[in-house]
Structure 1
Amino acid sequence: MAETVRLYYLFRGLSSALLFKTFLVFFYLESGLNFAQIGILHSVFAATVILLEVPTGIWADRWGRGRVMGYGALAMAFAALGYTFLSGFWGFAFLEFLLAFGLTMTSGADSAFLYDALKRAGQEKEYADLEGKAGFAKHVGMATSALAGGFLAEIDLSYLFPASAIVVFLAYVAIRRMDRSLPSEHTHVFQGSPVRLCEALGQFETQKGIWWTVFYSALIFMFIRSSDTLLQPVLRANGYSYWKIGLAAAVSAMAAAVASRHTAGMMRKFSERSLLWALPAVLIVSYALFATGTGWVLALLFFTNVSVQGIYSPFTKTLLNRAISRSNLRATLLSMESSVKRMVVALMMPVVGVVVDRWGLSAGIMACVAAACVAGVVLLFTAPRRRDAVELPDQASTSEPGAGDLPLSSPACPASRPFSSPSK
């Protein structure tokens, strides 16, 4: 079990270390694209995730999380290398598709992989703490890649892509070792993906806290995804060189790593309500101030914005995982959550891009702030009552490992007969 967890951390760190991530917007701008086109590329990425997130989650549930995660790392490595050979809007659109395809094979499957590995060992109560540590590894990978990417970008932006491909390929090597380190077992899976999807949708109907948490997650994710397109260009316009932007991103990512590492402790120390509303409030305020800030204030606001993002993933994933009672649907439901938040990005980013092209970066940032305020009000008035809310780890009732794993028929879904299939 210890080896599995260590390799899981290594995979999360390496698969997140895309050296070009912080600087991709500059590469697109230097290639002749405007912000509206960049927004459309974001939509291509998001639409790919929306279409493939649930199917890849089903594949992970059915054929093995480790195997699918490895294929995802390979796809991301090929996408990174592709920027060396392809150019133009349509070439970039294909690479965004391939990168998103790779991401869908790791998103959801990774958290489900860890949670069920812990559940088999009777240690699922440790999930929040270990997911926080995995988030720490992820942000360390992002920090290291941002710092190294800043210096490579000073030489040539094109150097970022083959370097990223090498690093992400190492993530594939790590996941293959982790896959072999797991004991063989048999799990119950559905014979048909439509039945599994129908049962997963049934979880949204019966678990009222899930859908609210999914849309809450989408609100936070909008800031995370838009920051790469909007905040870095503001820093560049205010005289920050590539290496300084990389340094700011690295320091901020390390702060996010620390925040992620201690999320479980904060969840035990503070109330659920406090954390729920503190995260979007800080992001909204920091974005609004970023639109009008200058000089070192921008670096401070950038630091604050990225630091808060470190809490987001382990916090929301813990809420969702605790609400999901059936392990054989876990990756599918987490993938559905990812699809919803990407849908928000697909709708927002082209609009924001048009606003930036017409009225400037500050107007685009404020458009995100306005949309977030509206969404926040809706979430506030639709928040589940306490008895329907998603349970936190210290509030959740314990259950025997494996409870709820067997597929159940429901009036809305056709009955299905499970069969045993090896899961590696």
Structure 2
Amino acid sequence: MGEIRILSQIHQYLLPFGFSAPARLALLLLFSNLYFYLPFYVLYLQDKGLNLVQISELSILLLLSNLLFEIPGGLLADHLSKKKILVIGLLLQLLGEIIFLQGTQFFHFALASFIGGIHCALHSGCLEAYLHELLDRQKKSERYSEALGYFGFAKSTANFIAFLGGSLIVGIWGPESFYILIALTIFCVGLALLGMFSLPWESIQLEEGEETHKRASNFTWLDRIGFSEISSLSGTLIVMILLFCATQPFADSLLIMIQPFFEERGGEVALLGLLTATGMAIEGLVLKQVHVLQNRFGVARILAGTLLFLGVGYVLLSWSVNAWMVAFFFLWIRSVVGVKQVLLTDQTLKIFPVHRHATVLSIMNLGSRLYVASGMWGIALVAEYSIPWAFMSLAGILLVATLLMIVIKIPQPISSPQFTQS
């Protein structure tokens, strides 16, 4: 009986949604995020003759294409089909990875980065909105926060598997196995693409107010794409964009700076892959419990506590004098970097009408990415002078954000017939 109970608890922990459509979508998310080659991305490109400036330009190009297609992707998802957009995004991801594998010069990798940015833009917001519709179809929309945490767990698990597996493969077969890592990634993305066809097509249900509005003779193109409707909640949208920006943990800056900082403090470079994978795994475990804490303490308290935790972590990381301290405080910070995304996405989808979810999330992601891009550039300038001071700068940003969370009131859903589905 004891063994059966333990197995039941493990099953409930790993598969809280059973084998339903949301659970299958989480599995596909896991497969599409198995980037086995990512810890060795820079080394692979350097072996192809690219220098660090060119590699940085690839990241900028990916960001630019992401920004260009962010809002169009959300609009297409809301007006065509979220599942179609997800399938197109996976097709582009597969194409980009194949070009990356076959690439031999800068232009090839630039093309792969541009396509990768479009894929990220199409999936940004659309994935969360599609998940909400799947849960709503099952009459389980109240579990959306839990499902977002489960998605974060799936993505972190994918990173852990990919980083650890990639490190083991390179450790056994050496740098010449980079091609194997990229091929494995392509195979997993292909599986995710095929798996998408097992998921249901969403039924696009227009709200009663919008249905009437569509019959109006003065129907403008702004009404058609949804901006007129969203503009009625522009004040709320601005506050949510501000919150998305202010609560950014700058996880990408952390991953970039931790590598030279860990080495400076006497750490073994070969352990970086394992350290990063461990951080992703811990983050996944934390994200699975976010909904429990949210129900108990509320969104505002959890966000403020998370920002304070991050700020203190960056301060202690900057004071680290050896590799063990660096590793510990890196894991401290990494464990909660995804919490704000779960909480604010859940809150956003409670506020805005369901048929505008993908559009709204795309607008918010666009705003936060512009902020992150400029912030990363500023942090990089400080890091050129001193990495510890760069960590202290991040600590200052997050501690100020903690105070903002006390001042700014998080918008709450408004019960209104306008947002009641027919």
Q: 1-side partners of 2:400 and 2:106: how far apart? A: 32
- What corresponds to 1:341 in structure 2? 368
Deviation at 1:103, TM superposition (A): 1.1
Kindly indicate whether residue 43 of structure 2 is the aligned counterpart of residue 15 of structure 1.
no
Report the residue type matching 2:385 in the other structure.
W
Report the residue type matching 1:122 in the other structure.
K
How many residues are aligned here?
Answer: 388
1:395-414 equivalent positions in 2, closer than 5 A: 403-404=419-420
1:162-181 equivalent positions in 2, closer than 5 A: 162-178=183-199, 181=200
1:16-415 equivalent positions in 2, closer than 5 A: 16-27=33-44, 33-34=51-52, 40-86=57-103, 91-154=108-171, 155-156=174-175, 157-178=178-199, 181-182=200-201, 187=206, 194-195=222-223, 196-199=225-228, 201-206=230-235, 208=236, 210-237=237-264, 238-242=266-270, 244-293=271-320, 294-324=322-352, 326-356=353-383, 358-373=384-399, 379-380=404-405, 383-384=408-409, 389-391=410-412, 403-404=419-420
Q: 1-side partners of 2:273 and 2:36: how far apart? A: 10
> In structure 2, do the counterparts of structure 1 residues 167 and 25 end up closer, same or farther at CA, with 3 Å as the change threshold?
same
TM-score of the two chains, using structure 1 as the length reference: 0.80
Q: Which has the larger radius of gyration?
A: 2
Report the residue type matching 1:305 in the other structure.
I
> In structure 2, do the counterparts of structure 1 residues 29 and 199 end up closer, same or farther at CA, with 3 Å as the change threshold?
farther
Q: Over residues 64-103 of structure 1, what are the superposed CA-to-partner deviations in whole Å (9 max), with x where a residue is unaligned? A: 1111112212222322333333356655443332212111
SS at match of 1:135: helix
Report the residue type matching 1:240 in the other structure.
E
Contact 2:26 2:151 in 1 (8 A): yes
Deviation at 1:362, TM superposition (A): 3.5
Report the residue type matching 1:135 in the other structure.
G
Deviation at 1:339, TM superposition (A): 0.8
Report the residue type matching 1:383 in the other structure.
I
Q: 1-side partners of 2:318 and 2:44: how far apart? A: 22
Contact 2:83 2:202 in 1 (8 A): no
Report the residue type matching 1:283 in the other structure.
L
Deviation at 1:169, TM superposition (A): 2.0
5+ residue gaps, structure 2, are: 1-16
Q: 1-side partners of 2:421 and 2:328: how far apart? A: 47
> In structure 2, do the counterparts of structure 1 residues 130 and 119 end up closer, same or farther at CA, with 3 Å as the change threshold?
same
Q: 2-side partners of 1:90 and 1:352: how far apart? A: 28
Q: 2-side partners of 1:365 and 1:177: how far apart? A: 45
Deviation at 1:308, TM superposition (A): 0.5
Q: 1-side partners of 2:66 and 2:141: how far apart? A: 28
> In structure 2, do the counterparts of structure 1 residues 6 and 26 end up closer, same or farther at CA, with 3 Å as the change threshold?
same
Q: CA RMSD in A?
A: 3.1
> In structure 2, do the counterparts of structure 1 residues 228 and 85 end up closer, same or farther at CA, with 3 Å as the change threshold?
farther
Bigger Cα displacement from structure 2, 106-115 vs 153-162: 153-162
> In structure 2, do the counterparts of structure 1 residues 399 and 138 end up closer, same or farther at CA, with 3 Å as the change threshold?
farther
Contact 1:153 1:159 in 2 (8 A): no
SS at match of 2:309: helix
Bigger Cα displacement from structure 2, 37-46 vs 221-230: 37-46
Bigger Cα displacement from structure 2, 87-96 vs 266-275: 87-96
Report the residue type matching 1:359 in the other structure.
Y
Q: 1-side partners of 2:388 and 2:154: how far apart? A: 33
Among the aligned pairs, what percent are the same residue? 19
Structure with more contact order per residue of length (Cα contacts < 8 Å, sep ≥ 6) = 1
Contact 1:149 1:160 in 2 (8 A): yes
Contact 1:72 1:102 in 2 (8 A): yes
SS at match of 2:123: coil
Deviation at 1:398, TM superposition (A): 7.3
- What corresponds to 2:13 in structure 1? none
> In structure 2, do the counterparts of structure 1 residues 104 and 323 end up closer, same or farther at CA, with 3 Å as the change threshold?
same
> In structure 2, do the counterparts of structure 1 residues 376 and 262 end up closer, same or farther at CA, with 3 Å as the change threshold?
closer
SS at match of 1:75: helix
- What corresponds to 2:3 in structure 1? none
5+ residue gaps, structure 1, are: 407-424
